[in-house]
Amino acid sequence: MRYRQLGSSGLTVSEVGLGCNNFGWRIDLEKTRVVVDAAIDAGITLLDTANSYGNRGESEEFLGEVLKGRRDKVVVATKFGSDMGEGPDVARASRWYVRRAVEESLRRLKTDHIDLYQLHRPDGITPVEETLAALTELVHEGKVLYIGSSNFAAWQVVEADWTARSRTGLERFVSAQNHYSLLERAAEAELLPACTAREVGVLPFFPLANGLLSGKYRRSHPAPEGTRMAGRPIDESTYDRLETFEKFAAERGRSLLDLAFAGLLAAPAVSSVIAGATSAEQIKANASAGDWQLDDADMEALARL
């Protein structure tokens, strides 16, 4: 496993991160322990969850439980700002909400600090300066070390960064967690250039496109039982793209899964690629996929596809 700095911050993260959205939803506590054990053994240090994951809280609770005695071995990232059952009109980026949400997450995670605390999505109500001020207070109190955004548009990333830099004493968002994969490349148009310019580390989620880039799916074959795409149609144009990518990887002695990670890790501003897992086998495959470093010729050929 290799490691990078998260944007221009001092926070070091593994190039492959573990998304914890399956904890409490698709897998129970003991299976969560198996997955986290495998991740730590593979050198994965970035564990990313959210207060809303796992039926609104179970993912954080499970993670707090399985990290007992080894909290200092990992970077714990969590998020606030998604619906936790309060109703539709709550300003989930407000100072009032932030103060309450962080205490609940700290309790569930059984820790005295969160390494990376991220706004899950803009609430459309709260000025970003208020959110940054509330998060800055948490940093000064030692409850949070670094802060980040998620699901921000490029202009929102730039606005937040300008606000932090132009107001004395405000902490900056050091990361932007957004949807990005070889099948979903909208981030390349504006988000990646904006984050590169502002020195914000990008954390792609859904890098395997619901498993489509895992190599499990074949044209004219039903999706395997128990997978995310089981019972869901996959159009022919998607199979065309998957087969093109798979051929590219095979010509270089690698798998489609390997390319799914390597292609993103070669992109500017990307600090770590976050992928979920439900088994130790998936963890090992994801971790080894991060070992492939595309050279300039590979990147040019991939761009032409």
pLDDT of residue 172: 98
Q: Give the tens place of pLDDT for each residue, 149-195.
A: 999 999 999 999 999 999 989 999 999 999 999 999 999 999 999 99
Return the structure tokens found at 72: 């200092």
pLDDT at residue 220 in the model: 77
pLDDT for residue 227 is more than 80: no
Query: Strand 3-5 and strand 12-14: pairing?
Result: antiparallel
Mean pLDDT value of segment 280-298: 95
> Does position 222 have pLDDT exceeding 80, yes or no?
no
Closest CA to 19 of 263, 288, 206: 206
Is the CB of residue 246 less than 8 Å from the CB of residue 213?
no
pLDDT for res 219: 84
Q: Determine the pLDDT at residue 89.
A: 84
The mean pLDDT value of the chain amounts to 95
Q: Where are the domains of the chain?
A: 3-218+257-295
Spatial CA neighbour of 83 closest among 128, 48, 53: 53
d(CA 197, CA 175): 13
pLDDT for res 14: 98
**For the residues of 203-244, what is the DSSP string, one character each?**
EEE-TTTTTGGGT---TTSPPPTTSTTTTS---HHHHHHHHH
Please check whether residue 199 is in contact with residue 172, taking contact to mean a CB–CB distance below 8 angstroms.
no
**The pLDDT value given to residue 269:** 95
Average pLDDT over residues 289-301: 93
CATH architecture for residues 3-218+257-295: Alpha-Beta Barrel (3.20)
Is residue 231 very low, low, confident or very high in pLDDT (cuts 50, 70, 90)? low
Residue 230 binned pLDDT confidence (cut-offs 50, 70, 90): low
Instruction: Give dist(CA 42, CA 27) in Å, integer.
Output: 20
Residue 229's pLDDT is 67
**pLDDT tens sequence across 55-83:** 999 999 999 999 999 999 999 999 999 99
Predicted confidence band of residue 10 (pLDDT cuts 50, 70, 90): very high
**Annotation marks residue 53 as catalytic:** yes
The pTM for the full model equals 0.96
CA atoms within 13 Å, Cβ hemisphere of 228: 14
Comparing CA positions, the residue from 109, 54, 100 lying closest to residue 81 is 100
